[in-house]
Structure 1
Amino acid sequence: MIYISLFPLVLMTSLHVPLARSVAMTFKDTDPITGKTLECDNCAAGTFLRAKCTATRSSECAPCPPGSFTEIRNYIRKCLRCSVCGNNQREKTQCTAVKDTDCECKQGFYYKTSYDACLRHSECPSGQEVMTQGTAEEDTVCRLCPNGSFSSSPHTNCSRHQVCSAGTETLLRGGAWHDTVCGACIQDQGKDGASYLRQILPTFFIHQKIHFRHLRRIVRNLTPLAGHTHAAVTNGATTYDLGQRINDWVEKATPEQIRQLPAILKKSGANGASERLENKLTKIEANLKRLCVGNEVDNHIIAV
């Protein structure tokens, strides 16, 4: 349950209703004519004090108008205004004369006490999975993918790395955010390291969380290769739009164009991502070369 704010209690206090006496049946007041101390009846919840008591008349109470309330016996001169649910909240229970509006976080949000606000549930990034699903009171709890598994997007659970099938070997060991890349020496079919690197590129750009400014530069530097104008792909584009542009480019790019990616990232200011991508490509090509050299030796032995 979410208490919208402490405003009603603060207001009650400011109107001289001590919390210690909030359930008292009476309150003391001074008769304006005689100067004597009077003990007046408090008004019931759902009402307010219209007129104080006198030596000859009891307290006069009146019902709270629509849109206002009092939750306890009181002697305030005006009912409290019903609260309105805030951002990312929804009404759980309507306000009544004796109870304020009860709000709760909308679906996909949780209440953070220190902010007194509903915040969106965290998304587990690539390389992690949901350990505990978020509720209206608690944020989502994530955990790292166990060794030997990966998750490639914020909406997937960890999956085991694939085991390379017969006739193929590991070109790039699986990480927390990408699967194992398997391959074989098939240079005669024109498939090189850049072709295998293509498999992890969409996930790579998600995992790196490249700054929007650099991401926009990357797309601008990719567009001449894709045959688009700069303005057509970057004006008013969101991070999601830019990511989609990159994925479209990756799908259509030639191995030679993919080989240029580390240089394009560096030119765009994403130096760290450039270095990491270059390292991935280097590992794939080193293992591919090892396989091809091994095949040459095997073929030579067979021929002899």
Structure 2
Amino acid sequence: ILFPLIVPALFLLSGSLCGASVVHPVPTFDHRDPVTGEILKCPKCPPGMFMSAYCTATTPTQCQPCKNGHFTDLWNYLPRCLYCNNLCTGNLEVETECSPTTNRICRCKEGFYSADDFCIRHTECGPGYGVQTKGTQQTNTVCEKCPEGYFSSSSSAVDLCVKHQECSSGQSVLLTGSAYSDTVCGTCESLANGGETLRTFLSGFFHAHRMRVGKIKKFVSKCSLPKQREPLMDHIIDWLAKAPEEKLRKIPDMLTASDLNSMAEKLKKRLHEIKQQNPNCSLTIE
């Protein structure tokens, strides 16, 4: 019973293996000849072309190629080609350009993903969180809270949580790392001397202690920080990197003046601890 079904399949397979091409019949459509009234089987035009004239009893269908910016993707008897109407604007970019046989294909730009026919920017993982799975053109970013021993101090759609650094020989932990900041290494004397160690220490301290927006605004206002169009905490961190050292040494008082008494006490306490561990250090606490 199976033999008649298998033979044609084997025949077609052997023809393909021998290099013979399988010829598919040209699709047709019915058309009534306006002169004779006869129903004709007219061949359709192939993809990339349109019908310029119906067939007659003596002539086949007349086809013409699509002009630039137009297409047909199926066998057809359309009187004109279709316009390539997919316009890749805004957050879209061209994946495949319009051709005689295909409409233009758009995709979301790098950093965006498709949802409900819109291109939406990938979510950024905030401080304390890193990227578990990067976003694609079809999916959003997946974030994860930084585990113990790792941190993230920025908002990013691509950055992973980073392992806390280990202090080298001769250095001590000036500030323990948190989910928001790296471990700050150095010596009491390097902290007392100011410079990069002091700036890094204070930056890590502010990253590690999350403040309410209202309190941050008050600190920014009290400290007369220059206005910037950026997140408030980033604004403070930028200021710490550039401010004169005499300003940095007054930060405990500036925190107190901004009603950030708890933060001011924590900063003074940590500085006292570092001083006590190094009695000969020249570090002074205001």
| The two structures share one fold, judged by TM-score above 0.5 | yes
SS in 1 for 2:153: coil
SS in 1 for 2:250: helix
Pairing partner for 1:200 from 195, 199, 204: 204
1:91–1:195 distance in 2 versus 1, CA, 3 Å: closer
SS in 1 for 2:223: helix
- How far off its partner does 1:126 sit? 2.2
Question: Per-residue displacement from partner, 1:138-170 (whole Å, max 9, x unpaired)?
Answer: 444333222122122235641225469779567
Which residue does the alignment assign to 2:111? 109
Give the aligned length. Answer: 243
- For the 8 Å contact 1:202–1:247, the answer to whether it is kept is no
- Greater relative CO (CA pairs within 8 A, separation 6+): 1
- For the 8 Å contact 2:153–2:180, the answer to whether it is kept is yes
The one-letter code of the counterpart of 2:202 is R
- How far off its partner does 1:73 sit? 0.8
Larger mean Cα displacement after TM superposition, 125-134 or 62-71: 125-134
Which residue does the alignment assign to 1:88? 91
1:138–1:258 distance in 2 versus 1, CA, 3 Å: same
Listed as ranges, the matches of 1:218-297 within 5 Å are 219-223=220-224, 233-234=226-227, 237-239=228-230, 243-244=234-235, 247-248=238-239, 251-252=243-244, 253-261=247-255, 264=258, 278-286=261-269
- For the 8 Å contact 2:255–2:264, the answer to whether it is kept is no
- For the 8 Å contact 2:66–2:100, the answer to whether it is kept is yes
Question: Per-residue displacement from partner, 1:243-298 (whole Å, max 9, x unpaired)?
Answer: 4576225733243345323654x7xxxxxxx6xxx5444334445556778999xx
SS in 2 for 1:147: coil
Matched, 1:128 2:129: yes
- For the 8 Å contact 2:30–2:42, the answer to whether it is kept is yes
Distance 2:212 2:69 in 1: 47
- For the 8 Å contact 1:91–1:102, the answer to whether it is kept is yes
- For the 8 Å contact 1:184–1:288, the answer to whether it is kept is no
- How far off its partner does 1:122 sit? 3.5
Which residue does the alignment assign to 1:16? none
Gaps of 5+ in 2: 1-24, 280-286
Rg larger for: 2
SS in 2 for 1:129: strand
1:137–1:293 distance in 2 versus 1, CA, 3 Å: closer
- How far off its partner does 1:63 sit? 1.7
- How far off its partner does 1:131 sit? 3.1
1:285–1:248 distance in 2 versus 1, CA, 3 Å: closer
Root-mean-square deviation over aligned CA pairs? 4.6
SS in 2 for 1:61: strand
- How far off its partner does 1:26 sit? 2.3
Pairing partner for 1:174 from 158, 177, 201: 177
Which residue does the alignment assign to 1:68? 70
Listed as ranges, the matches of 1:9-158 within 5 Å are 25-29=27-31, 39-53=41-55, 58-82=60-84, 83-106=86-109, 108-112=110-114, 114-153=115-154, 154=156, 155=159, 157-158=161-162
- How far off its partner does 1:32 sit? 5.8
Normalization by structure 2: what TM-score?
A: 0.60
Normalization by structure 1: what TM-score?
A: 0.57
- How far off its partner does 1:177 sit? 0.5
- How far off its partner does 1:92 sit? 3.6
1:182–1:263 distance in 2 versus 1, CA, 3 Å: farther
Gaps of 5+ in 1: 1-22, 227-232, 267-273, 297-304
**Percentage identity across paired residues of the two chains:** 30
Larger mean Cα displacement after TM superposition, 195-204 or 81-90: 195-204
The one-letter code of the counterpart of 1:40 is C
SS in 2 for 1:260: helix
- For the 8 Å contact 1:47–1:97, the answer to whether it is kept is yes
